[in-house]
Structure 1
Amino acid sequence: MFAGIGGTCLGFEQAGARIVWANEMDKNACITYRHMHNGAPYLMEGDISEIDKTIIPRLDILIAGFPCQAFSIAGYRRGFNDDRGNVFFQILEVLEAQLQVYGELPKALMLENVKNLRTHDKGNTFNVIKESLEAYGYHVDSEVLNSMDYGDVPQNRERIYIVAFLDEDELIRFRWPDPEEPTVGLNDIIDRDNHLDERFYYDETSQYYNMLRESMVSHETVYQLRRVYVRENRSNVCPTLTANMGTGGHNVPLILDFENNIRKLTPEECLRLQGFPETYTFPEEMANSHKYKQAGNSVTVPVIQRIAENILNVLEINEEVDGEEEGELIPQHTN
């Protein structure tokens, strides 16, 4: 649910799962999803609140990165008073439909959101989510993980991940990933050697140029333009990529190349900073503003993959299905 361009789906696929259904309402994100996932015939485009949930296939795992702006410190933090926050209850409607149509619930859930979900409204928002899942018989745990520590990507991105299992013993056996020593640096992803398309560069015609030229001195880090000041990331990683970084002066990640030119990160570099493999690209006809939004709204794929691997190991989803030959590792249905 809320599949975006399919970063969460990709992480689960890399872990060995098979996606049988996905939903996204943003038409441009759907174009990119299909481009990245071989046409994705299972992708259902449209508002989840208007979709007949009884036609969704039986799911072993339901995954959802429901919209985070309602809970983010970068937004208004209105929570369930925001329509984007209310979509959490669509997850419960999918669970109800699974129960009615198939007589059983998904064995496990994995939800993702901004870390402030846990403390929003003094913890009441998170408690509603936890208690709602527990009412369906799930046993729930959560953890805040930073992409630069758990995904080996040089991006400072803290997100809360919620896992839920119907079987309490399975939750007990589940383990969150351990932190990893980083092996990928910014300059392994960012091209500071070559001059790229001129539209990514700042020059004297920009109202921000003098401020940027004075502030940006390092070729090892990423800077962030915050309208009235420039922030340097002193950990030499990229600040959290956001959906609005392609819409103006706010939150734009900038770098100084080896010829001391100032430019924005490209959308493709943003994808790499989210852990997408180099073979995953945007459609050529997609506008850069949409590309930046889609990258910022996405997830860090390697973090998802590590969580997914541990979920699949607990569920022992490795038996033959659909008449496949015995002994071949084929996962059962998952979303």
Structure 2
Amino acid sequence: MKKRTVGSFFSGVGGIDLGFENTGLFEIVYANEIDKYPAITYESNFNLKVDVRDIKDVKGKEIPNFDIMVGGFPCQSFSLAGYRQGFDDEKGRGTLFFEMVRILKEKRKLNKQPGVVFFENVKNLVSHDNGNTFRVILEELNDLGYKVQQQVLNACEYGNIPQNRERIYIVGFLNDLEYEKFHFPLPILMETKLSDVIDFKHKQDSKYYYTSENCKFFNELENNMKTSHTIYQWRRIYVRENKSKVCPTLTANMGTGGHNVPLIRCNTGIRKLTPRECFNLQGFPKTFKLPKDLSNTRLYKQAGNSVVVSVIEKIAFCIAKALSI
């Protein structure tokens, strides 16, 4: 059976790509990521050289043809954690969606337009600017001939991963029948526990621990973090326990300290999560390589900017079913 080919944009460390490849039905033939550091992590885990050019410099005729375009186009502009500038973001991140549209148009002129598109973003993309941002995205895709479905899925409900991470997933098809056959996955029981992805028992490097010497609010942590096997956060002036037994949404700034960083009380003290534990909470396998020459701050950022692999894999299987692979 011939695998369907995938072109990946804003690839990061390859979370979307890994989800598609895990099905055994898709092959990544092109990946673009402007940040050289996640590209290093990507190339440590995939047999593919990453194109690290700015997407604005990438021409459709220069890159391989592919059946499916995938991309988690930068979400800072649309994130609740950001300023929500959307397409007016002065750094141009919001406009990067239109660079993917440009490449699709260039492929269409070559009669090589991919039959499927798949995008991931923060859930409030739908409500940004009273819905105008999302309306423009849908209009652009419709103008290219794609019929689109979208749904917000939470990792703890659809990925068997104990993280409260809601993201919108957008899938478009050129073929009407394939569009009609596609359905998003159904929710599943979450069987993975925090203790399956976080080591509450064993001593970690001292740099991960909070103490009275390195943390000015340590006494509040000590007095309020009573139990193990759950996640806490310092919320500027108080300690919050996540009683749902899942991790709050991982962010790109977890390596910088400060408020909202997930914290645990384990057998060896109070500490933040390790980069490996953050990748575990994104559904990456324990075999996924984290380059030793990259700083923890960069690895935290890479984990926080990534996707939940198991959710992607389930959607990829649904796409495969619609394509009758």
> Into which bin does the TM-score normalised by the smaller protein fall?
over 0.9
Which AA in structure 1 matches 2:178?
E
Q: Does 1:207 align with 2:219?
A: no
Tell me, yes or no, if the aligned pair for 1:201 and 1:264 is still in contact at 8 Å: yes
Which AA in structure 2 matches 1:174?
F
Note the 1:122-271 alignment, pairs <5 A: 122-205=130-213, 206-259=215-268, 261-271=269-279
Structure 1: gaps spanning 5 or more residues: 318-335
Tell me, yes or no, if the aligned pair for 1:115 and 1:144 is still in contact at 8 Å: yes
Which AA in structure 2 matches 1:80?
F
Residue in 2 that maps onto 1:20: 29
Find the aligned partners of 1:226 and 1:26 in 2 and give their Cα distance. Answer: 30
Note the 1:277-292 alignment, pairs <5 A: 277-292=285-300
Measure how far apart 1:285 and its partner are: 1.1
Measure how far apart 1:65 and its partner are: 0.4
Tell me, yes or no, if the aligned pair for 1:244 and 1:251 is still in contact at 8 Å: no
Which AA in structure 1 matches 2:259?
H
Measure how far apart 1:104 and its partner are: 3.4
Instruction: State the aligned residue count.
Output: 313
Residue in 2 that maps onto 1:327: none
Structure 1 range deviating more: 83-92 or 217-226:
217-226
Q: Does 1:68 align with 2:75?
A: yes
Measure how far apart 1:313 and its partner are: 1.6
Task: Tell me the secondary structure at the aligned position of residue 251 of structure 1.
Answer: coil
Note the 1:68-147 alignment, pairs <5 A: 68-82=75-89, 83-101=92-110, 103-147=111-155
Find the aligned partners of 2:234 and 2:289 in 1 and give their Cα distance. Answer: 25
Report Cα offsets for 1:33-92 as digits up to 9, x if no partner: 111214x22x21121112233211111000010011101111000100011111110110
Residue in 2 that maps onto 1:54: 61
2:45 to 36, 52, 55: 36
Residue in 1 that maps onto 2:309: 301
Q: With the length of structure 1 as denominator, give the TM-score of the two structures.
A: 0.91
Tell me, yes or no, if the aligned pair for 2:60 and 2:104 is still in contact at 8 Å: no
Structure 2: gaps spanning 5 or more residues: 1-8
Tell me, yes or no, if the aligned pair for 1:2 and 1:66 is still in contact at 8 Å: yes
Task: Tell me the secondary structure at the aligned position of residue 70 of structure 1.
Answer: helix
Residue in 2 that maps onto 1:314: 322
Structure 1 range deviating more: 106-115 or 307-316:
307-316
Residue in 1 that maps onto 2:3: none
Find the aligned partners of 1:214 and 1:174 in 2 and give their Cα distance. Answer: 51
Q: With the length of structure 2 as denominator, give the TM-score of the two structures.
A: 0.94
Tell me, yes or no, if the aligned pair for 2:37 and 2:298 is still in contact at 8 Å: yes
The answer to which structure, 1 or 2, has the higher relative contact order (CA under 8 A, 6+ apart) is 1
Report Cα offsets for 1:226-278 as digits up to 9, x if no partner: 3333221110100000011112313311111034x100100000001000011
Tell me, yes or no, if the aligned pair for 1:242 and 1:251 is still in contact at 8 Å: no
Taking only aligned residues, the RMSD between alpha carbons, in angstroms, comes to 1.1
